[in-house]
Amino acid sequence: MEVLVSAVIGEIVSRTISVVIKKCREQMTAKEQTTIEEDLQRLHQLLLRISAIIEEAEGRCIRNRGMIHQVSMMIVQLFRGYYLLDSFKSTQKKTDDEEVSGSLFAQSKFNPAKRFRRLSSYTQNYSMVVGRCSSKELKQFILVLESMVADLKEFAIFLRSYPRMYRQPYGSYLILDKFMFGRQMEREQAIGFLLQPEPPSGGNLGVLPIVGPVLIGKSTLVEHVCDDERVRNHFSLILRYRENDLKDEIPTTFRDHCVIKHQNSASNEERSLLVIELLGDVDEGAWKRLLQTSERCMGNGSKIIITSRSEKMVSVGTTQAIKLSCLSKEAFWYFFKMLVFGSTDPEEHPQLTSIAMELAVETGGSFMFAYVAATLLRANTSVRFWCRVLRQAREFRQMNNFVLGEYHEDRMSRYGWSIAETQQGYEDRKVFLIHHSHQKGPAAHSEVPRITIVDLLSGAWSPIQRGKFEVLSWRSLIPPYYNYVYSCELVQNKNARL
């Protein structure tokens, strides 16, 4: 009897202790959750203040390199802050929704909540890390932003001394595809170099190299620099040279291969700007001949901008080169989020936000991939479809041996993929090879293929036969208004599992 009473008492004590521990944990979790929500609210307020300063700075003609560098640092922290904010919010809401979904669909064999969890395992693992480790990171980051905001008072005073630029108001979520994203500071650096006065004694021409991989935005940056009103008023003539190299050029034929981009007849100065767009390196002898000829023919204060994919071109510059690379993951997520969700608040769709964040990593920082993926996702906002797009993007990367997050625009030939579901099922998907890509100017709109890469991926274009064909990957809505075309080949493979 005593043994039985002792066992009952032990069980009661054990259950009591368990209940007490559970309540303590719940209280601690609730307190921690409240603290995190307060931190997120504080983070959002700080980001709004910083974004207001950045927008004001981008509307001013800033010449000081130190201030340009400071604005660039603020932009980096802004993107990082929004990335952290979206990560926390999507994690919290997705977890709550999955708990509800788990109870509602517990008896179903075809549980959509389970399917989503299975397809988003990477996000969940990341979310667990965020929940356990990043609350401290969040607090530390808020302290950094608070210190930055405290120092912005003096910056704002200096900012008022610079004149305003004429620009129309815009909403970035409305016309994100109609203005250059993420290169504002590089643009101001290039413009500052072009407007910098040269000593009256003459000497060597100022040369600014702009280097970076294919399709990273070199031509777009140069076009925006040359279209700036300050640059057009400063130079009487702007020329562009677009050939493979300068090896076979001689002074008498070089001008014939140049295109006049702008001519300011009202200018009394004879300053010229020469833009040279190359694919790779430049022949050393040809470059020396060009410089010697240009120094004799171009007036004092004339400048040269040379773009190339080769890092070796940095050595030809007379000033610090501009090296374009992929956006940071935080900046690219901000860009991709605006493309995909537009004016919709991603916080209202935590599952879609989590999928989109994973897809942004899979893109490897490719602007082209971002536009294509955003077009697909906006056409169908179901979780199931977005999961399928994410799955195909992963398999595309794995099939082509791309490293996660690697920029792969310059790697041809490669396997393509298809999202479209056929009546025969998953095994009957068509596979296509992308051999190479090329650009066509705005004057070649009539020569651009009718079929787009989105049509190919979604199966909206049925009359495709085996063999080689061209597809329009993307038509840019900003200068230089290029049409980007892929040369593809369809290879039917009924057992292809990309």
Range of the domain at 226: 202-323
Q: What is the pLDDT of residue 222?
A: 93
Residue 193 maps to a domain: no
Answer yes or no: pTM beyond 0.85.
no
Contacts of 73 (CB under 8 A, 6+ apart): none
Are 246 and 311 part of one and the same domain? yes
Q: Which among 121, 146, 135 is positioned nearest to 92, based on CA atoms?
A: 135
Residues 417 and 441 placed together within one structural domain of the fold: yes
Domain boundary among 105, 134, 159: 159
| Residue 127 belongs to a domain | yes
Could you tell me if 283 and 246 are in contact, meaning their C-beta atoms sit under 8 angstroms apart? yes
What is the tally of helices (H) and strands (E) in the chain? 15, 10
In terms of domains, do 239 and 128 share one? no
* Same domain flag for 293 and 337: no
Q: What is the pLDDT of residue 350?
A: 85
Domain stop point among 267, 300, 323:
323
Predicted pLDDT of residue 493: 56
pLDDT of the residue at 199: 63
Establish if 12 belongs to a structural domain.
no
Are 339 and 488 within one domain?
yes
In sequence order, which residues have a C-beta less than 8 Å from that of residue 432 and are 6 or more positions away? Answer: 415, 416, 418, 456, 488, 489, 490, 491
Sequential pLDDT tens for the chain (498 residues):
555 545 545 555 455 445 445 555 554 444 445 588 888 899 999 999 998 888 888 778 777 778 888 888 888 899 999 998 888 877 765 555 544 333 333 333 333 334 334 444 444 444 433 334 467 888 889 999 998 888 888 888 888 888 876 544 333 433 455 567 878 888 888 998 999 887 655 557 899 999 998 888 899 999 999 988 889 989 989 999 876 667 666 666 677 778 888 887 766 668 899 999 888 778 778 788 888 878 777 888 899 999 998 888 898 898 999 999 888 889 899 999 989 988 787 778 888 999 999 999 888 888 888 988 999 999 898 999 999 999 888 888 888 888 777 777 766 667 777 665 543 444 445 667 787 777 887 776 677 888 888 888 877 766 566 678 888 888 888 888 888 888 888 776 544 443
Before 480, cis peptide (omega within 30)? yes
pLDDT at 447: 79
Residue 344: what pLDDT?
80
Residue 374 falls inside a structural domain: yes
Residues 464 and 336 in one domain: yes
Q: Where residue 274 sits, what CATH number does that domain have?
A: 3.40.50.300
Q: Are 324 and 217 in contact (CB under 8 A)?
A: yes
Predicted local distance difference test score (pLDDT) of residue 202? 55
pLDDT at 177 (0 to 100): 53
- Determine the pLDDT at residue 62: 79
Instruction: Answer yes or no: do 284 and 351 share one domain.
Output: no
- 153 and 211 part of one domain: no
The answer to whether position 167 is within a domain reads: no
Last residue of one domain, picked from the residues 127, 159, 191: 159
Residues 430 and 461 in one domain: yes
For the chain, the domain total comes to 3
Residues 260 and 393 in one domain: no
Query: Which helix (H) or strand (E) covers residue 490, if one does?
Result: strand 483-492
Shared domain check, 315 and 373: no
Residue 397 lies in a domain: yes
The answer to the question of residue 10 being in a domain is no
CB-CB neighbours of 309 under 10 Å: 17
Does residue 410 belong to any structural domain of this protein? yes
